[in-house]
Amino acid sequence: MRGSHHPTNPSPFRNPLTTLARAALGLLLGTALAAAHAQAPAAAPALPAPESVSLDKLGYMGTFPPEGAQRVDLSNSYKYPQMRWALQHLRELQPTRNIRRGAAPASALPADPRPLGAFSFDDDKGQPITVDQWLTRTYTDAIVVLHKGKVVYERYDNQMKPWTPHLLFSVTKSFTGLMAAQLAHEGKIDPEALVTKYVPELADSAWGEMKVREVMDMTGGVRFREVYTDPTTEIFGYSWSAGMLPRPPGYQGATNIYDFLKTLKKEGEHGEGFVYRTVHSEVLGWIVSRATGRHWAELMGENIWQKLGMEEDAHVMVDSVGTPLQGAGLNATARDLARFGEMLRQGGTFNGQKIFDKAVIDDTAKGGDRSKFQFRGIQTARPGYSYRNQWWVLHNADGAYEASGIHGQMVHVNPAAEMVVVKLSSHPVASAAATHALTLKAWSALAQAVRR
């Protein structure tokens, strides 16, 4: 985690890597979130005025051909504000695999519009703010609020449309976690078995003596440092192997994610405590594919997207051999994510289909071991939370739980308020720490508003 490790020896690869490359890591991997949860929020950074970095104002990719400052490509797509365009156009920049919605009509999302944007609440500083002001302040691209299965509020900004896919970062992990939990419920994966039962190739790695449950809840010990200024740390190897960063001259390391995972070693004791590591999600996805004999994207399409009656196809980033980024690479629309959240709220069913068994949803929503969540101080950033099946569980009075990704991606489920909120954003700061206190206030305000 950033700030959690001492610098290692200088690397011969340090010079070729630019500040841009290091920024790309924080953007693409969804792992900057780990650093945010491991320590108390720092002083708020200076941020650009949201209206100054709107895509309408910036005009990226708006001429034929785009030239000069209008152009967004791999050389600048991880800078801000070019990133705002990239989050809605990922497959124009990176290889992806499609997640097919099928030929059936889209399932209904009935509307019952309410003026939630004007609803006022006190922000994290005790100052009054409306929902619309909160959305603008947090660089929101799209929000969909469901109450009892009806769309009560929907807003799009920054050129986002209802049919526009958005990069979800670590929300991806929560899909992978639920698929694994369902397979465990069906007896196709044994959570108490060693990882090597399914992936013997990891016998000499950190996962050689790790249980599947420790992967699902991120309590397994693995040395995976995320020091974005130090190319000797494992975050760089992950990015090079996945093809997310240009490989340095003379690079001889892994050229795909699975080969990279084999190189990681144990650090600490398995089961000791929660440590957020994206590589656990990649291993969990590998286990899911081994247990089913199916590609992650095929499972997503057939078991989730098509059964839910999604409006649009989704897609996922892949490496050079087609391995999906099962911890950070999913792209989908806000309305389709709302369908997914509503299915969870209804206990695993939607559109006349059972997507997950209710026992799986209940097991996830109850949360994980809260004492293990306090490991390494993560409780400071997310007080009261726990982590289960790759979902964040609030343990509040409403029984809320959520999927979360950097730069402000959220799928929030509040069973007691019968509410689902999808919020997709392009915040300049990757970490959730700077906005988390305000987000909690907003969730509470929206739950209060829909109950009226």
**Catalytic machinery residues:** 170
Contact of 153 with 116, CB cutoff 8 Å:
yes
Burial of 40 (0-12, 13-18, 19+ CB in 10 A): exposed
**Whole-angstrom distance, CA of residue 301 vs CA of residue 451:** 34
How many other C-beta atoms are found inside a 10 Å radius of the C-beta of residue 209?
A: 15
Q: How far apart are CA 224 and CA 202, in angstroms?
A: 15
Q: Ramachandran region of residue 196, left (φ > 0), alpha (ψ -120 to 50) or beta? A: alpha
Q: Give buried/exposed letters for 79-92 (b at 16+ CB in 10 A, else e).
A: ebbbbbbbbbbbee
User: Using CA atoms, how far apart are residues 393 and 273, in angstroms rounded to an integer?
Assistant: 16
Joined tokens for residue 349: 């069913």
Q: Give 25's contacts (C-beta < 8 A, 6+ positions apart).
A: 31, 32, 226, 228, 235, 236, 239, 244, 245
Residue 220 CA to residue 210 CA, distance in Å, equals 6
β-sheet with 386-388: strand ranges across: 150-156, 140-147, 419-425, 409-414, 401-405, 391-393, 386-388
Alpha carbon distance, N-terminus to C-terminus of the chain: 42
Residue 263 in contact with residue 366, Cβ under 8 Å?
Answer: no
Instruction: Look up tokens 């006022």; give the residue.
Output: 120
Provide the Cα torsion 335, 384, 134, 87; round to 10°.
-50
Q: In terms of Cα–Cα distance, which of 68, 65, 267, 86 is closest to 166? A: 86
